[in-house]
Amino acid sequence: MFYATYSEGFRPGLLNRPGGAVSPSGYMVPFELQTDEVNNYEIGWKTELFDRQLRFNGSAFYVDISNLQTTIFDTSIVNLFFSDNAADARILGVEGDFAFAPYAVPGLTVAGAFSVLDTKITEVLTPTDDVTKGNSLAYAPSFQGNLRVRYEWDLGDTGLVAHVMPQMVHSGSKYTDIININRLKLDSYTTFAMTAGVKKDDWSVEVFGENLTDKRAQVSGNFYYDAPRINTNRPLTVGVRVGWHY
């Protein structure tokens, strides 16, 4: 199946505390912001291939953003944070997910998902150095994806079903904001995890390990009193899960 969609969205306007402040160049901080608007164009597909052994879904999209509401701190204008419809932007992207369960290997499933993004500020609408044309949008890595392989098998005549499932997650580098004063770059990272366990009827037990390489992945960031602060993922974590379905 193939499809195409077009959609629109917006955010309501805002009020500005320092509205009316005037910069030496004559720019006036607006008392209120206009709505920002999003136009989204998308084509996609949902497929089952190779005698339904492979499911592959995905989409390609273009997003046009007008009058993006942005918080700015530019002392050449006013010594306070203020908001404005500071930029236009666009997003080009492809994303998809798949699951492959070959008949030749019963119990095996290989699954994953990915996204490829190209985001950009296309026009700066406020006379400030805090927003730069060509910069990428916040938290928009050019590539991210995950992959997992699950294998299940029967343990003889016990009625137990065992499984093992390694998985991997990757994210490219990204930035935390579009304004330069708050813009931190977060490094790319790859993390690994694994589970192994058994189940029977309504109960299950599994051992899990998360972040097996103990990677300090940079997942978010901000500034605290002008000092950069980067948040990382959880360290290596190992445990046991017991489940009962009722």
Please name every residue paired with 218 in a beta bridge, in sequence order, or none if there are none.
Answer: 232
Reported as a pLDDT band with limits 50, 70 and 90, residue 224 is confident
Tell me how far apart the terminal alpha carbons of the chain are, to the nearest angstrom. Answer: 37
Residue 215 has pLDDT above 90, yes or no: yes
Residue 17 scores a pLDDT above 90? no
What is the residue extent of each domain of the chain?
1-133, 138-246
> Which residue type occupies 69?
Q
Q: What is the pLDDT of residue 187?
A: 97
Residue 97 has pLDDT above 90, yes or no: yes
Which residues are 95's β-sheet partners?
Answer: 59, 115
Residues above pLDDT 70, as percent of the chain: 100
* pLDDT of the residue at 104: 96
Q: Residue 24's pLDDT is what?
A: 86
pTM score, whole prediction: 0.89
**Residue 94 reports pLDDT greater than 90:** yes
In this predicted structure, the answer to whether residue 226 has a pLDDT above a threshold of 90 is no
Mean pLDDT score of the chain: 95
What is the pLDDT at residue 8?
97
Question: Residue 240 belongs to what H/E stretch?
Answer: strand 237-244
Q: In whole angstroms, how far apart are CA 169 and each of 94, 144, 188?
A: 18, 8, 11
What angle (nearest 5°) sits at the alpha carbon of residue 141, between those of residues 140 and 146?
A: 120
Can you tell me the mean pLDDT for 62-76? Answer: 93
- What is the reported pLDDT for 200? 92
Tell me the average pLDDT across 57-65.
98
Q: What is the pLDDT of residues 168-209, one digit of tens each?
A: 999 999 999 999 988 999 999 999 999 999 999 999 999 999
pLDDT cut 90: percent of the chain above it:
84
CB neighbour burial string for 221-231, b if at least 16 within 10 angstroms, e if fewer: beeeeeeeeee
> Comparing 75 with 212, which gets the higher pLDDT?
212
Residue 170 tokens read as 């990757």
How far apart are the C-alpha atoms of 46 and 44, rounded to whole Å? Answer: 7
The stretch 67-84 carries a mean pLDDT of 90
Q: Are strands 203-210 and 237-244 parallel, antiparallel or unpaired?
A: antiparallel
- Tokens representing residue 43 in the block: 């084509």
The answer to whether 146 and 97 are in contact (CB under 8 A) is: no
| pLDDT of amino acid 76 | 87
Whether the predicted pLDDT of 142 surpasses 90:
yes
For residues 224 and 73, give the distance between their C-alpha atoms in angstroms, rounded to a whole number. Answer: 15
What is the average pLDDT across 59-74?
95
Radius of gyration of the chain (CA): 24
